[in-house]
Amino acid sequence: MRRAILLAVAASAVLAQPVFAADTVNPPADFKAFRDYFTQRFAKVPLNDFVNGPYSMDENLRKQWVEIDAFPPYQFALDKGKQMFETPFKNGKSYADCFANKGIGIRQNYPYFDAKSGEVITLDVALNQCRQANGEEPYDYTKDDMAALTAYMAYTSRGKPFDIKIPDDPRALAAYRKGEEYFYTRRGQLNFSCASCHVQSAGDHIRTEVLAPALGLVAALPIYRSEWGGMGTTSRRFITCNSQVRGVPLKAEDEEYRDVEYFLSYMSNGLPISGPGARP
């Protein structure tokens, strides 16, 4: 009788496990499952190639990427961003004074969890904080100036692996969890989540475009998009995604957008920064 009860308890514990797992915040376990899913599903794609999004999906697309990168459409933004980065503020200080290593080669460490504010800080937010601390007006998070500046900073980090940390702080874990929730939550009249396109349908066509896998998705940002005819920041990308599924977007760099960038960047840990990128 006792054995039967023990067996029943053990069986119920096993059956209950998936629910328990889904309710628990475990970034390393999520990371492993996420990585395994994409590398097994796209077994022919070298791990570091995932940062090239749709262009990593097959040989023909990879050839297209090589052709595009010979005369990159983001070059003008890159040149502009470098000039902006090196131009001192009116008070004589510059972006270099706000960042570690004078702002060069640091993109892979963003976003990070800021213990002081208890929030996730993206590179874009850090740049505006720097501007405001030096008496300058903040840039619009969706427009060309911010795209150019972040394009240059990403370029100085090219090849450096994402190194996103989730400190042992319940607030950081909560931010990660909110980002994960946002990524998997269906929204908009079309009832799509980020994962609908970038997990379940990754590699498939949506009209003439190939959907990028979520693994490495943020490594190429900011991007030049032919569809936009210009550069776009991470905020612009998220806002556009929401609108495309007929959902009212959040404000640029809303806390939830920063959290989802935190989640996606952590999932891309170890993959090289490839930004600025170019996409159809």
Partner 1 sequence: MIAGGLALRYPMCGRVLIGLAVAVALGSLATAARAASADDFKAAYAKAQAVEQQAGALKNQWTTTEAELKAAQAAANAGNYDDAVKHAVEAEALANASITQAKEQATAWMQAVIR
Contact positions vs partner 1 (CB under 8 A): 18, 21-23, 30, 33-34, 37, 180-181, 184-189, 191, 193, 195, 199-200, 243, 246-248, 250, 256
> Is 261 in a helix, a strand, or coil?
helix
Site of tokens 């499952």: 33
Count CA atoms closer than 13 A to 53's CA, side-chain side. 26
Write out the two tokens for 138. 């903040």
Q: What are phi and psi of 8, to 5 degrees?
A: -65, -40
Q: What distance lies between CA 133 and its chain's CA centroid?
A: 26
Catalytic residue among 130, 194, 197, 241: 241
Provide the 10 A C-beta neighbour count for residue 92.
8
Site of tokens 């993959």: 271
Query: Looking at beta carbons only, is 72 or 188 nearer to partner 1?
Result: 188
Query: Looking at beta carbons only, is 125 or 239 nearer to partner 1?
Result: 239
Query: Looking at beta carbons only, is 68 or 175 nearer to partner 1?
Result: 175
For the stretch 173-206, what's the b/e string if a residue is b when 16 or more beta carbons lie within 10 angstroms of its beta carbon?
A: bebbbbbbebbeeebbeeebbbbbbbbeebbeee
**Any catalytic annotation for residue 197?**
no
Give the Å distances, CA to CA, from 134 to 89, 104, 129, 151: 7, 19, 9, 21
Alpha-carbon distance 262 to 260, whole Å?
5
Name the minimum Å distance from CB 105 to partner 1: 31
Name the minimum Å distance from CB 268 to partner 1: 14
Name the minimum Å distance from CB 204 to partner 1: 16
Write out the two tokens for 29. 């376990």
Name the minimum Å distance from CB 22 to partner 1: 4
Name the minimum Å distance from CB 256 to partner 1: 7
Alpha-carbon distance 140 to 251, whole Å?
11
Write out the two tokens for 233. 């920041």
Query: Looking at beta carbons only, is 39 or 94 nearer to partner 1?
Result: 39
Radius of gyration of the chain (CA): 20
Query: Looking at beta carbons only, is 107 or 177 nearer to partner 1?
Result: 177
Query: Looking at beta carbons only, is 11 or 190 nearer to partner 1?
Result: 190
Name the minimum Å distance from CB 30 to partner 1: 8
Nearest to 119 by CA among 278, 268, 261: 261
The catalytic site residues sit at: 241
